[in-house]
Amino acid sequence: MRIRLLMAETTTKSAGMAQSSASAPFAWNPALEDLSDCPSILIVDDLEINRRLLKAMLKNTNYRFLEAKRAVDALQILEKERIDLVILDLVSPGMSGPEFCRQVKRNRKTQLVPVLMITSLHGVENEIQGIDSGADEFLTKPLHPALVRARIRAMLRNKAAVDSLEEAETILFALAQAVESRDHYTAGHCERLATYGVSVGNALGLSRKELVALHRGGYLHDIGKVAVPDRILHGTAKLTEPEWDIMKLHTIRGEEICRPMKSLAPVLPIIRSHHERWDGTGYPDGLAGENIPLSARILQVVDIYDALITARTYKPAMSHQEAIRIMKEEAARGWRDPELIALFASVSNDSWKEGIAEFASSEWSEVQAMRTSLENMKISLSH
């Protein structure tokens, strides 16, 4: 009943709008306009009249509309098209609105697409059900056209901000990869560090947030080396004291590069403190013992391990046992956290490999999103 009322009300309004735009000297004609750069809105509703009404409310806006009668069709469109916003009815045939939302938010490719759920069912339970399933906003019929437009504008503004943050993060990870190849590390050094770091963090029962920071730290810890000149980074002679001071600055520069990205806040201690030593003789702050953030200590341990077990231009690869022996020596000398080295020695065997395999198949959205962005960037750079 309410739906019929809404349709009647809005049809009258949209008919009026159509009339006025038809009589206007420069009537809007979507066929004449290039909408490829405009935000794309996917409207999901089994009733054609409801889809038309929504489009009528959004007339005279620069949006590109795509439509789906069924939620399953909408999921297929989302796989193929760049969509900036989905509008869907809470009740839809075949798949409910909340189930559709859950699928969208579970998929790493679509999880950042905002969903506006519309319902004619009143009651806070429906709203809670919609929000619990991942819907970003909720509107109850009868819809007020001005409110619909304002809500959609706000959601698209947020989406644009999220897109630019994601792009900025991708650029940082790509920059970190460029540093990795410039530093003559064995290919995959950062990825191995990310994986090893998470395995050690898992053994220590760290939270998911801390594990994600360790994963990102694997890539970003040396990003500050972008500011170190080639003659210092690649010099064959022993570094002079002033050159060594510049090299040490990569920890501080790295932190400065990543600080503007709020999402990277948990990674900053890793970037800044991964060259501190347990006895306080490290850099840049001379922190000692447990004052060195645990995440930075973990990253340091796996960094040293990977450096030992892989071949470099100046040395062959060591065996796992030999690497562990050297790391224990360094702990005895006071440079490394002895408990952490002991833990590392105990987990970097069979269970270590299991941990890595488990992590490789992980569906963490943060990790998957970063991998997808990097893959996409590589593809676009190769064209």
For Fe ion, which stretch binds (CB under 5 A), given 221-229, 341-349, 350-358, 364-372?
221-229
The residue (of 84 and 180) whose beta carbon lies closer to Fe ion is: 180
Q: Which of residues 27-56 bind Fe ion (CB under 5 A)?
A: none
Q: How far apart are CA 375 and CA 370, in angstroms?
A: 9
Cβ pair 131, 125 in contact under 8 A: no
HSE-up of residue 194 (Cα within 13 Å, Cβ side): 24
HSE-up of residue 381 (Cα within 13 Å, Cβ side): 9
The residue (of 89 and 222) whose beta carbon lies closer to Fe ion is: 222
For Fe ion, which stretch binds (CB under 5 A), given 76-84, 126-134, 183-191, 215-223?
215-223
The residue (of 51 and 189) whose beta carbon lies closer to Fe ion is: 189
- For residue 322, the tally of other CB atoms under 10 A from its CB is 12
| Residue nearest Fe ion, CB atom distance | 222
The distance of closest approach from Cβ of residue 271 to Fe ion in the complex, given in angstroms and rounded to an integer, is 9
Please give the C-alpha separations between residue 155 and each of 106, 120, 146, 150, 300, in angstroms, as whole numbers.
Answer: 20, 21, 14, 9, 41
The distance of closest approach from Cβ of residue 326 to Fe ion in the complex, given in angstroms and rounded to an integer, is 18
Per CB under 5 A, does 180 bind Fe ion? no
The residue (of 114 and 254) whose beta carbon lies closer to Fe ion is: 254
Q: Which of residues 315-344 bind Fe ion (CB under 5 A)?
A: none
Backbone torsions φ then ψ of 282, nearest 5 degrees: -90, -165
Residue 159, both tokens: 């989406």
Determine the size of the site formed for Fe ion (CB under 5 A). Answer: 1
**Which residue out of 13, 225, 315, 328 is catalytically annotated?**
225
Per CB under 5 A, does 136 bind Fe ion? no
For Fe ion, which stretch binds (CB under 5 A), given 16-24, 163-171, 219-227, 310-318?
219-227
243's CB contacts (< 8 A; 6+ apart) are 232, 235
Per CB under 5 A, does 222 bind Fe ion? yes
Active-site annotation holds for 225:
yes
Q: How far apart are CA 343 and CA 351, in angstroms?
A: 12
Which residues contact Fe ion (rule: CB under 5 A)? 222
* Residues with active-site annotation: 225
